Amino acid sequence: MKDTQKKFILPENEIPTAWYNIVADMPTKPLPMINPKTHEPLTVEDMSTLFSREASRQELNTTDRYIPIPDAVRELYKSYRSTPLVRAYGLEKALGTTAHIYFKNESVSPIGSHKLNSALPQAYYCKEEGVTNITTETGAGQWGAALSYAARAFGLELAVYMVKISYEQKPYRRSIMQTFGAQVIASPSMSTRAGKDILTVNPNYQGSLGTAISEAVELAMQTPNCKYVLGSVLNHVSLHQTIIGLEAEKQMAMAGEYPDVVIGCFGGGSNFSGISFPFMRHVISGEKKTRFIAAEPTSCPKLTRGVFQYDYGDEAGYTPMMPMFTLGHNFSPANIHAGGLRYHGAGTIVSQLLKDGYMEGEDIPQLESFAAGRLFAQAEGIIPAPESCHAIASAIRRVKEATEAGREDVILFCLSGHGLIDMASYDQYLAGNLVNYELSEEEIKKTTDSLEKIIK
């Protein structure tokens, strides 16, 4: 057997010192976020009533290509970055392919996913600006776990609204947050008006990310010295995640290769953006022809079947309106086991890039995604998060295409997290209790037809 290198790691002094802001390079800029009442574009002033001022500035920054990573954040990044770029020889062998498969392993972060990449800077900016308390929501619990550690690292008090079904199905994520010192509240709760309104109409409501966002936003607005932080969807979150792709670009060069296709699973878009945008800048500039694929669940298909329209980020309509591919803010996904992919809409940057043909969406049925994850686990020894399984399934589809065409494609995907705290979902899969779920046209129309037609 020839001597082949399995993984590529950057020395600390090669860890990127700035994030990449793709908006500065986009030929068509995303439409602005707007105030739902006046339809006026949001200003930094407006945004920073809810978010930290620096996050608000980054959110609306359309001119600076690179934004420096604060030293205090870089220091904390060093405890787990660079994350390894790994050649998936085991998976290649299992699939019997001549394609080259690489994955960027974000599961090695202390909390097990890419989410910490944005939790750290967001907590840091709040601290710098004199904020003492922060609130957020979490679906499956990864974001809450990441932010709990980040809040602790910078001495902030954190309250997390956790979607009720996950609170019950994923008790260990709750324990992780509590171990770091966060307060965790099952959502919908009686502690906010948004929660009360929903519970009085439907006492058995299992919760959704949209409702949990409404509750966290309400608490932040009513508590002095308290800001709200969000773990996906927004531009500044995608910005922070570009550390993934910036590292991967250097690591692919160490491997002496360049990807033909880059893949990420897709919830609100942050890990997909993170792995893709640094490579996409060479497509925008005309130097490269790379394919970018965002893999979403068939049961929450905002990219492949949603509408492009202004919509709210939350169920109660407290947030500004964003131009996005959306299933409607009242969309409530079926009980799927990739909690992190249940959000109703896509971030504004990704939505514009999809509209302009720079990337593709692909929907993956639940059973195909778990089968891919299991194959990957057996071949590479890492149990992937149910979310990440979608990226693996999409990569396997690309491998099959390449093998059939006799091509040696280079395929890169983001392993956004490990699944060691998601074994209940694997149990369900192994027991044969999971089914595929495809939405009917009527179901999609129900929540998209009622959207105000701001984009004609």
Ligand X SMILES: *Cc1c(COP(=O)(O)O)cnc(C)c1O
138 interacts with ligand X by CB under 6 A: no
Residue 117 beta carbon to ligand X: minimum distance, rounded to whole angstroms? 10
351 interacts with ligand X by CB under 6 A: no
Cα 82 from Cα 73, distance rounded (Å): 13
Q: Report the residue number, 198 or 303, with the smaller CB distance to ligand X.
A: 303
CA dihedral in degrees (367, 345, 359, 383; nearest 10)?
A: -40
Cis amide bond preceding 188, omega within 30: yes
| Interacting span for ligand X (CB under 6 A) from 57-65, 319-327, 348-356, 385-393 | 385-393
Q: Report the residue number, 192 or 326, with the smaller CB distance to ligand X.
A: 326
Site for ligand X (CB under 6 A): which residue of 54, 137, 215, 387? 387
| Interacting span for ligand X (CB under 6 A) from 151-159, 263-271, 281-289, 306-314 | 263-271
Site for ligand X (CB under 6 A): which residue of 194, 243, 265, 444? 265
**How far is residue 160 from each of residues 116, 152, 337, 381, measured CA to CA in Å?**
15, 13, 21, 32
Axis-axis angle for helices 235-255, 348-355 (nearest 10): 60
270 interacts with ligand X by CB under 6 A: yes
Query: Which residue has tokens 């996904």?
Result: 333
Site for ligand X (CB under 6 A): which residue of 271, 299, 394, 447? 271
CB neighbourhood size of 414 (10 A)? 27
142 interacts with ligand X by CB under 6 A: yes
Answer whether 212's CB lies under 8 Å from 139's CB: yes
Q: Are strands 226-228 and 157-163 parallel, antiparallel or unpaired?
A: unpaired
Site for ligand X (CB under 6 A): which residue of 144, 267, 345, 373? 267
266 interacts with ligand X by CB under 6 A: yes
Site for ligand X (CB under 6 A): which residue of 245, 259, 268, 301? 268
Q: Report the residue number, 345 or 417, with the smaller CB distance to ligand X.
A: 417
CB neighbourhood size of 400 (10 A)? 13
259 interacts with ligand X by CB under 6 A: no
Cα 293 from Cα 358, distance rounded (Å): 9
Site for ligand X (CB under 6 A): which residue of 56, 290, 388, 394? 388
Buried b (16+ CB within 10 A) or exposed e, 185-212: bbbbbeebebbeebbeeeeebbbbbbbb
417 interacts with ligand X by CB under 6 A: yes
232 interacts with ligand X by CB under 6 A: yes
118 interacts with ligand X by CB under 6 A: no
Residue 265 beta carbon to ligand X: minimum distance, rounded to whole angstroms? 5
Answer whether 300's CB lies under 8 Å from 341's CB: yes
| Interacting span for ligand X (CB under 6 A) from 188-196, 259-267, 313-321, 369-377 | 259-267
Residue 302 beta carbon to ligand X: minimum distance, rounded to whole angstroms? 11
Q: Which two tokens stand for residue 226?
A: 């308290």
Q: Report the residue number, 50 or 338, with the smaller CB distance to ligand X.
A: 338
Residue 416 beta carbon to ligand X: minimum distance, rounded to whole angstroms? 3
Site for ligand X (CB under 6 A): which residue of 97, 113, 122, 235? 113
| Interacting span for ligand X (CB under 6 A) from 194-202, 245-253, 261-269, 324-332 | 261-269
Site for ligand X (CB under 6 A): which residue of 198, 226, 234, 385? 385
Which residues between 320 and 349 bind ligand X (CB under 6 A)?
340-341
| Interacting span for ligand X (CB under 6 A) from 8-16, 38-46, 158-166, 260-268 | 260-268
52 interacts with ligand X by CB under 6 A: no
Count of residues interacting with ligand X (CB under 6 A): 20
Site for ligand X (CB under 6 A): which residue of 269, 323, 328, 373? 269
Residue 144 beta carbon to ligand X: minimum distance, rounded to whole angstroms? 10
Phi first, then psi: give them for residue 23, nearest 5 degrees: -60, -35
| Interacting span for ligand X (CB under 6 A) from 6-14, 304-312, 375-383, 384-392 | 384-392
* Binding-site string for ligand X from residue 178 to residue 217, where x marks contact by CB under 6 A and - marks none: ----------------------------------------
Residue numbers at the binding site for ligand X (CB under 6 A) = 113, 115, 142-143, 232, 265-272, 340-341, 385, 387-388, 416-417
